[in-house]
A and B are shown apart, each in its own frame.
Chain A
Amino acid sequence: MILSLFLPLFLVFLVLGLPVVFGLLAAPGILLWMNGQERDLVLLYRNVFEGMNSFPLMAIPFFMLAGELMNRGGISLRIVGFAQAMVGHFRGGLAQVNVVDSMLFAGISGSAVADVSALGSIIIPQMEKKGYPRPFAAAITAASAIIGPIIPPSGIMIIYAYVMGESVAALFLAGIVPGILIGVALMITITLMANRYNLPQAMPRATWREAGAAGAAAFWPLLTPVLLMGGILTGVFTPTEAAAVTVGYSFIISLFVLKTLTLHDVPGVLIRAGLTSSVVMLLVGAAMAFKTVAALAHTPELLASTLLSLTDNPLLLLLLVNLLLFIVGMFLDAGPAIIILGPILAPIFTQLGVDPVHFAIVMVVNLTVGLLTPPMGLVLFATSAVSGLRVEVIARAVLPFLAVEFLVILLITYIPALSLTLPRLAGFLN
């Protein structure tokens, strides 16, 4: 009985400012100890270790490393330049550019935080110079950055696939259309806002020559997703191997082709990627241990019966689960939330006939959008660091975009074909 208190205790720790990784271990640990189950503390420790000791998870540090290499190699500037040539002439041009470069960068990096750091530092000052209010520039940067983990590659999807035993390739393919949909929805929102809020006039349309030059400059980086997805889909590489090959590719083009990276930069790149991935690994390990205690306390069964007692209509349940995930996303990072809730929620919906890949995408997209919601909004934190604005200011400015993204989540939820068509066409689903 006492064990069922682990979830409230975890939330209390979280709100009081305990780092998530320690909260995930302290809350169940204290209750196991109070319950006289000291021996199970060993189980907790072993689960952290075994949770991290995984080959598929290794793709995460590799994708981070590839992103860091590309970023240090000046790739971000080329991508922004290419996006400007494509959509800079639209009304609210630079805001549109901001969305398009996030969509392009999403094909290289699997992380929204990396997207903000790489692109935000370039595009926010540019937008401000053209007359956009800084909170607006920061908000659209944050809102579009969450496309990073939805369009493949995606760290969050790798975690989902690892925990739930789904195919990484199927999830990657299923994320493409929803990611593009969010981008398009944001662009339409900007167009609608442009007149109402008198957003700055567009930049002149790029000539064919300028567009060609910008495309050529971004060609090699933009080939990355082709190599990555091509390798995985043709079965040449496992996702982990594909991630390592992407690192090798990024290294070679940055060093030898673009000549924007020097060997001197490499240790710094390795250290930055290593620091970030060490935090992910620890969180994954801790969340796996937390999940074990959740199972000991019969939380999955409890939550499932509570949800099913409300209604057994899958459409209503999907709406409820979206609201639940949205609230969870306010307090928890997407990674741990997936590890803890994935095994609890997914079986309920698959039993009701929802496709596992479809449910995975609903969960991933919802929790990724949760990165924009305070108090635990990692993308808000990163945007605050890049823009110098307070988290609260960005959180307010991002609200219209957040509303649009929630509508897209509902679209993805109720039109499974949006996520399932591509994996079906590629033969990953029946």
Chain B
Amino acid sequence: MGLILGLANGIGAVNAALLMLGRWLGAACLGLMVVVILTQVFFRYVMDNALPWPEEASRFLMLWSTGLMAPTAFRRGGFVAIDMLVRLFPNGLATVLSIVMLSISIAVLWVALGIGWSETTGIGGRFALDSLRVPASLDLSVWAKVPKAAMMSAMLVGVVLLLLVAIELVLRNLCILTGRLHRLNEIPETIILGSGAE
């Protein structure tokens, strides 16, 4: 049982560090999205020149922002679920049910990981994005197309991080089941998110 506690806290520490990085990068993506769209508006109305790349660039950033930040929401209890039935159960049974539900989540993520990997590294990922270019020489005279894989990786990275979080949550529940809740490192603040659009 000490092994499970060690693993839970160990993966927890790795997740905390990775997700902190994810949150900062994701927040930067969100900020950049605003800048990109405002640039689009500025060029269209003030400079009378509609730029070709902002729409794709902002979608690129939004996908990365989602992939990098959703795992934090999951870890902090921000993925909405109905807990009314679970709360009617005695503690032990509720924890077992949580483990079963998390295992289903892990199965979904595991399948998604396999598919995501083959999709991202496969032919689909090698196509170039329509309008995004990156500098390919120091003097900025050559610009290379960005492969679609760069955009698709956002979801793959998200799946990997979600999987790590789900594994950590299963281990934590196993510790709770064996009465070691007090020895688990705390996960900061529980957030109420929901599907947000609401």
Contact = CB atoms under 8 A, between A and B. Distances in A.
A371 B198 CA distance: 8
B66 A22 contact: no
A20 B80 contact: yes
Given A52-B66, A113-B193, A65 B34 contact: yes
18 contacts: A14-B81, A16-B86, A20-B195, A21-B79, A29-B111, A55-B59, A60-B196, A61-B65, A155-B198, A241-B41, A244-B37, A271-B24, A274-B26, A276-B196, A279-B78, A283-B195, A333-B194, A382-B192
10 smallest CB-CB distances across A and B, nearest first, come from A155-B197, A280-B196, A270-B27, A244-B37, A378-B194, A19-B79, A333-B195, A278-B70, A278-B69, A375-B84
B73 to A, nearest CB: 5
Interface stretch (A40-48, A81-89, A129-137, A296-304): A40-48
A282 B66 contact: yes
Interface in B13-68: 23-24, 26-31, 33-34, 37-38, 40-41, 45, 55, 58-59, 62-63, 65-68
B33 A58 contact: yes
Given A18-B101, A45-B115, A245-B41, A274 B30 contact: yes
Interface stretch (B3-11, B102-110, B134-142, B175-183): B102-110
A17 B198 contact: no
A268 B155 CA distance: 24
A24 to B, nearest CB: 10
A17 B70 contact: no
A368 interface: yes
Given A22-B104, A26-B108, A111-B197, A17 B85 contact: yes
A17 B79 contact: no
Where chain A touches its partner, the secondary structure class is: helix
A270 B104 contact: no
Interface of A: 13-22, 25-26, 29, 41-42, 45-46, 48-49, 52-55, 57-58, 60-62, 64-65, 110-113, 117, 149, 155-156, 158-159, 236-237, 240-241, 244-245, 247-248, 266-267, 270-271, 273-284, 331, 333-336, 368, 371, 374-376, 378-379, 381-382, 385, 391
Contact of A335 (B27, B73, B195): B195
B65 A274 contact: yes
B184 interface: no
A88 to B, nearest CB: 29
Nearest to A13: B104
Contacts of A64: 196
Given A244-B41, A275-B73, A111 B196 contact: yes
Interface in B133-172: 151-152, 155, 158
Interface centre among A17, A45, A245, A376 (most CB of B within 10 A): A17
Contact of B85 (A15, A29, A336): A15
A395 to B, nearest CB: 10
A46 B112 CA distance: 10
A22 B101 CA distance: 9
Contacts of B59: 53-55, 58
B97 A279 contact: no
Where chain B touches its partner, the secondary structure class is: helix
Count class of interface residues, chain B: 35 or more
A237 B44 CA distance: 10
A185 B116 CA distance: 50
A244 B101 contact: no
B195 A271 contact: no
A108 to B, nearest CB: 15
Contacts of A112: 198
A60 B65 CA distance: 13
Nearest to A382: B192
Contacts of A273: 30
B105 A18 contact: yes
B186 interface: no
Contacts of A283: 195-196
B197 A159 contact: yes
B30 A61 contact: yes
Given A55-B58, A275-B73, A281 B66 contact: yes
Nearest to B98: A17
Contacts of B27: 267, 270-271, 274
A244 B38 contact: yes
Nearest to B109: A22
B191 interface: yes
Interface centre among A52, A241, A278 (most CB of B within 10 A): A278
Contacts of A236: 45
B82 interface: yes
A401 B73 CA distance: 31
B73 A278 contact: yes
A376 B152 contact: no
A275 B193 contact: yes
A335 to B, nearest CB: 4
Contacts of B197: 60, 110-111, 149, 155-156, 158-159, 280, 284, 333-335
A68 to B, nearest CB: 10
Contact of A41 (B55, B115, B155, B196): B115
A25 B58 CA distance: 26
A283 B29 CA distance: 20
Given A17-B82, A244-B38, A279-B78, 14 more contacts: A13-B104, A17-B86, A42-B119, A45-B119, A55-B55, A58-B37, A61-B62, A62-B33, A111-B197, A113-B194, A275-B73, A282-B66, A333-B194, A368-B198
Contact of A274 (B23, B55, B58, B198): B23
Contacts of B115: 41-42, 45
B185 to A, nearest CB: 20
